[in-house]
Structure 1
Amino acid sequence: MRISLRHQSDRLALLTGRPKLLSVDYSADPAIVSRALPRRADDERKNVLLLGGNGFVGMHFLHDLLDDERVEKVYALVRPKGTNSGEARIRRQARKYKMALPESDKLVVLEGSYLEPSMGLDETTYETLVSDVDVVIDAAGATTHEYPYARYRQEKVLPTVTLAEFCLTRRFKTLHVIGSVGSEVYTRLRDFYRPSFFFCGYSKMKYVVKHLSLKMNRDGVPIHVYQAPFALGGPGTRFKDPGMEYSFWNMVWHMVQQGQTYQFGGTNPMVAGDVLSRAVLNNALSAAPRPISYPVTPVTNEQLAERLGLELVPYKEFRQGLVLANRFRLREVKWRNPISSARREWQRAGFVRSLFPRCLPELLTNIDTAVRAPAVPLNAGIPAIDVLVANARNIRKIAKDLPVVATAEKAVPEAIEETAAESRAA
């Protein structure tokens, strides 16, 4: 079975804003091929291949897979880095996020890359994967937003097609791709030409992956996509996440610095990492997985204002104050290095404008509308705003400017952890 993305159809879809122009070539009818391949019965334990298991979200998947009685074996493909083995990188990430991985003989760590032929594995190991795996979870890929679409195309779009082909070789496998609600910002042609941070090459890649996955699913390829939001730390990490690496926390920091947030009738997309993991795995290990899911537990700006001590103002007023406070200042230029320091000042001022574009309420409304589509049941248990505040207090840059915690609120993290433990036990 051979699957390939038809030449430049993804770029044409982005140029015209028409995802229907995405085109895929198959060497055989994927629906017929999938029915003919051997597969395990629905009640049998499954073997899972996890890509990106050493990332923040991937660590949650790894933890829950090792703890799930529906899973027989977990193959974790980790790219080698320097002298550190794949197992060492996983252990380091577990320590970084204070995660205790279950003791289990299920785990098989493989060093390789899904970007390479045969995943960078020797022939015997690759053949084992092709013949033994039942479920593939793709949580790998870049998390930065600074590259053009061409780079993300090579790192994510084309590999998604290759993984789909892998899933229709030797044994029937379902493919579960972690997408992003950020791709929902595109609703009109002009959105594809906006200069803001939210309309960058990364978002375009996620847009293509979403629509490509849906198209292949309609054609009979067992691929499923999850439009995930910002994944924050949950009780399992003691509410620790990548912090200021997220644009979300950069936005919150600017709000706290200004003492304001903006009036908005919609919501902000987020989810705790453990809640996201359970939602994805419950769908992936079900007999009939949904083609697309929106595992989101949103928070409102009203909740942000109340819990972080912020004033609610119209968005226009909020943005004007923010841009004025973060404008380019000549006095900030270091005259010993005038060119580089001036460039940094321009970039800082430009980033703030890009992070809070004039159309921000509109694009958040587009995301909010999509999130309200039928979603995987989350069974979250912990209020999303409590998760957000607990994480914010773990980020030093933000926490130092937050209001003093009330006595009653000090017990919230402990109460949340008790609730989560009871939920896991149940």
Structure 2
Amino acid sequence: MTTGVGSQGESLRPIWPHADALITSECRGLRFNGKYADVVALSTGDPTALRPTIDEETRKRVATLPAPRRDTALILGANGFLGAHLIGTLTRDPSITRVYAMIRPTDSQTVEQRLQATLDQYEISVDTAKVVFVEGNVTERRFGLSKERYLELADDVGLVYNCASSTDYVSSYLDLRQDWFVSLLRTLEFSITHTRKHVTYVGSIGAHLYQRPEDFRRADSWWYSGYAQMKWVNAALLGWLSQSDTYSVTLCEAPYILGSTQRGLDPGRAYSFWRIVEVAIAVGAIWDGPGMNYVPVDVICEVMARNATSEQPMTRLLPSNPEDYDHSLYADLLGLDLVTWDEFFGKVADLVGTKFAQTMLGDNIDILMRKVHKPEAILPADHDASWCDHRRLFELYFSTVKLKDMAASA
């Protein structure tokens, strides 16, 4: 049995002998052990099932290409909370000359209007002279572009930031697969089309919920969701490719991405974190557990930008609060009682009912948080962590977020 991708080169045979490897139409240079290798890996909890090999012709071709240029960037998911902030970060960087913002137009808004609405919502400063709009969709072949436009873009881009995703905690992995696993394959194919490009993919620490075989057999829920499974699959693939000499990739595992250190504005109730804060305020208490791992949006953007433009980008980032804290901070800032987990769950169940409490909080969200929100922070060695003032930041966040009155609506 071969070992798939190696740090000094790529194996050319299928991972399992006697198996016909498939070259996907979306990423022609990668061979897998089957058409549904990702589904096999997820259903068995075995990332080696997703271990790719690289086509010999592709390996030789890419080996002749120069290193990725570092003065132009393409942002996939440019109109999202993270993508729009990343546009601001990159356009303010004097070493960046062009930032291509890929946005899907709608029937009622142009791509320019959609981006401007997001910039206004989060008060993001952007050098618009550097922005080039691309009407495209990462979930379509060639990003929905003509062949000519696709190749023009492939020739000019040096850095790719894949911020596109769907924070859909209801759909299954199979529902999300075509859009978000296959779109990663498209991004990887783009990264070695005509020129070599460095890809930064934004993953999620929610993928760490899947650690033991039984985790992969759990029924889907808000926590063990198709979204988290998708992030696990994509992280597994990039983990193998990070050992390759052909693909230049960084997996950036994101914790909760909250508002910037100066504005404090984020999507609010779109985050399960803020919904938990809502119920904590409604019941006047929060459990005595660890504070969640988080990163301000301007910090993660700066980390991703500096890493990708460095001479030797790190293959894995986990930009997170480098100092621990706990829920006593929330209790102090919000005037809440600090209680045990069982007491907190009981109070929430009395307010909204046991079934909804179990849906929102899981069997024990305290255990899940301790599993997912790891204390480690993987940052560039020269990263300035002086931003990490938990009290100042959460005073800012609690003063800007718009929450629902759960007590009144219960």
**Is the shorter-chain TM-score for this pair beyond 0.5, marking a shared fold?**
yes
Indicate the residue corresponding to 1:321 in structure 2: 347
The superposition leaves residues 174-203 of structure 1 with CA deviations (integer Å, 9 ceiling, x where unpaired) of 111001111111111122233441101001
Q: Helix, strand or coil: the match of 2:56? A: coil
CA contact (8 A) 2:286 2:338 kept: yes
Equivalence for 1:17: 45
Aligned partner (choices 103, 116, 122) of residue 97 of structure 1:
122
8 A contact 2:100–2:134 mirrored in 1: yes
Alignment partners' CA distance in 1, 2:159 and 2:267: 27
Equivalent-residue separation in structure 2 for 1:312 and 1:46 (angstroms): 50
Query: 1: CA distance between counterparts of 2:268 and 2:152?
Result: 38
Residue of structure 1 equivalent to 2:400: 394
CA deviation string 1:329-372 (max 9, x = no partner): xxxxxxxxxxxxxxxxxxxx644312212232222122233x51
Can you list the C-alpha shifts for 1:298-322, whole angstroms capped at 9, x where unaligned? 6421221222222121112211221
Cα distance in 2 for partners of 1:200, 1:113 equals 24
CA displacement at 1:156 relative to structure 2: 1.1
Q: 1:71 aligns with which of 85, 96, 103?
A: 96
Provide, for residues 258-298 of structure 1, a one-character-per-residue CA deviation record: whole Å limited to 9, x for no partner.
1111122x431111111111111111111111111111126
Counterpart of 1:262 in structure 2 is 287
Match of 1:149 in 2: 173
The structure carrying a bigger helix percent of its residues is 1
Give the counterpart letter for 2:52 in structure 1: V
Q: In structure 2, what is the equivalent of residue 2 of structure 1?
A: 29
* Distance (whole Å) between structure 2 residues aligned to residue 119 and residue 314 of structure 1: 49
Q: How does 1:117-156 map to 2 (within 5 A)?
A: 117-156=141-180
Do the aligned residues in 1 keep the contact of 2:255 with 2:373 (CA within 8 Å)?
no
25-34 or 255-264: bigger deviation: 25-34
**Partners of 2:288 and 2:326 within 8 A in 1:** no
- Kindly report the root-mean-square deviation, in angstroms, between the aligned alpha carbons of the 2 structures: 2.3
Pairing 1:197–2:222 present: yes
Aligned-partner Cα distance in 2 for 1:281–1:301: 31
Residue number in structure 2 paired with 1:84: 109
> Secondary structure in 2 aligned to 1:77?
strand
1:353 to 2:358 alignment:
yes
Q: Which runs of 5+ in 1 are unaligned?
A: 328-348, 402-426
SS in 1 for 2:332: helix
TM-aligned CA distance change 1:4 to 1:146, over 3 Å: farther
Q: Cα–Cα, structure 1 residues 31 and 318, in superposed 2: closer, same or farther, change >3 Å?
A: farther
Is it true that 1:39 corresponds to 2:67 in the alignment?
Answer: yes
8 A Cα contact 2:103 2:135, kept in partner? yes
Which of 234, 250, 253 does residue 227 from structure 1 map onto? 253
Aligned 8 A contact 1:141 1:156 in 2: yes
Q: Write the distance in 1 (CA, Å) between the matches of 2:352 and 2:185.
A: 43
Q: Is the 8 A contact 1:49 1:75 kept in 2?
A: yes
Q: Aligned pair in 2 of structure 1 residues 80, 4: CA closer, same or farther (>3 Å)?
A: farther
TM-score by length of 1: 0.82
Change (3 A) 1:4 1:95: farther
The verdict on how the C-alpha distance between 1:32 and 1:290 changes in structure 2, with shifts beyond 3 A counting, is farther
**Aligned position for 2:134:** 110
TM-score by length of 2: 0.85
CA distance in 2, matches of 1:362, 1:259: 21
Residue in 1 that maps onto 2:335? 309
2:373 aligned with 1:368, yes or no?
Answer: yes
SS at match of 2:223: helix
Tell me the matched-pair count.
373
Native 8 Å contact 1:269 1:299 kept in 2: no
Q: State the Cα deviation string for residues 116-165 of structure 1 (Å, max 9, x = none).
A: 22211223321111111111000112122121111221111111122112
Measure the CA separation in 2 of the matches of 1:325 and 1:400.
9
Question: What is the match of residue 75 of structure 2?
Answer: 50
* Contact 2:258/2:296 (<8 A) preserved: yes
1:116 & 1:400 partners in 2: Cα distance? 40
Mapped to 2, the partners of 1:29 and 1:320 lie a distance apart of 61
User: What displacement does 1:387 show?
Assistant: 2.2
Q: Secondary structure at the match of 2:254?
A: coil
Tell me if structure 1 keeps the 8 A contact 2:269–2:275.
yes
Counterpart in the other structure of 2:24: none
CA deviation profile, 1:222-255 (whole Å, cap 9, x unmatched): 121111112111255x222111111110011111
Q: Percent identity?
A: 26
CA distance in 2, matches of 1:40, 1:52: 21
Matched-pair contact (CA < 8 Å) for 2:303–2:379? no
Structure 2 CA distance for aligned equivalents of residues 59 and 36 of structure 1: 34
For structure 1, which segment, 70-79 or 20-29, has the greater mean C-alpha deviation from structure 2 after superposition?
A: 20-29
Matching residue of 1:167: 191
SS of 1:295's partner is coil
* Per-residue deviation, 1:30: 6.0
The code of the aligned residue for 1:132 comes to D
